[in-house]
Amino acid sequence: MEQGAKVSGARFYFLKGIGARLELAIMQMGLDQALEADFTPMMTPTLVRPDTMVSTGFDVEHDDEIYRLERDDMYLVGTSEVALVSYHADEILDLSISPSATQGGPPATGEKYSHGKDTRGIIRVHQFNKLEMFVYCSASESKAEHERLLAWEEQMLAKLELPYRVIDTAAGDLGLSAARKFDCEAWVPTQGTYRELTSTSDTTTFQARRLNIRERTLNDDGSRGPTAPVATLNGTLATTRWIVALLENHQQADGSVRVPEALRPYLGGLELIQAPSSTPEPTRASAERSANAQAALTFARYERDMNSEGAPGKDSLILLARLF
């Protein structure tokens, strides 16, 4: 976090070593699960036009949590849902076979947060990675699809062996677009509370009506009927924040962390993450002093091993080769 603040300011961070590997492993495990569920992977734009944000259901005029590039009049999205729902704007979809399921993961998402809340760690940051599920379906099927999205999220939490609870969000806490939303919260031992890791929302036909996304219906006799707005749903399958719950819930008495069995294939079979060494990392100055001392020792041995004809001995040649 200190290096992130030095480079980009507060609430930015670097993931290094096993931290970076953990995020990539969780994302890949989520992607594999999404592929098994017939989702189509997509990499989406991170910057979108104002009308795209508004049509999705974001209040760009009064929402202080949204980043805007004023010169280009573009917005930095906090989820790939924004781009995915607009992907089929002004189109008529064929949902006669099955719902259309897509999955997106933008390289970065942007959100602003108030001062003083979760100032340490990666629970609440300005930028993070996210694996998002998105579904287009008939309005009559949205409730069933919502349950399926929740089940997939719970499946991921179970694979990582995390204690969690599901919150059926109260109507007064819903955003503009969602008709119903489930939050999955994992237990965070150091905070003594549950924290949200993922959520899934059913926006019914709200977004589709604003973006003119329709499906072709059929009459009772099988003939082509009128068009009707589709339903859109979204759910998060993994984010950077999951690392916190994973490390804390699987940490052992000696400081090491047991890797959940389902995640091991994505970490090269790693079963245990060793506790970090208490020995401080050498500074550049100390490293240079060590190198100079090694060089001095090597040349001292070089002079000592000189034979009577002025040629270096065998041992000093080996030392010189290792040094250079």
- Indicate whether 179 pLDDT > 90: yes
**Alpha-helical runs (H) found in 160-283:** 206-211, 242-249
- Indicate whether 145 pLDDT > 90: yes
- Indicate whether 175 pLDDT > 60: yes
- Among 109, 49, 85, 58, which residue's Cα sits nearest to residue 239? 109
Domains of the chain plus CATH, in order, are: 2-273 (3.30.930.10), 285-323 (no CATH)
Q: What is the pLDDT of residues 11-33, one digit of tens each?
A: 555 777 888 899 999 999 999 99
- Cβ atoms within 10 A of the Cβ of 105, count? 21
Q: Which two tokens stand for residue 271?
A: 């079963």
Residues 290, 201: Cα–Cα separation, whole Å:
58
- What predicted TM-score, i.e. pTM, was given to this entire model? 0.74
User: Are 154 and 197 spatial neighbours (Cβ–Cβ below 8 Å)?
Assistant: no
Q: What is the pLDDT of residues 81-128, one digit of tens each?
A: 888 999 999 999 988 655 555 555 544 444 433 444 444 554 555 566
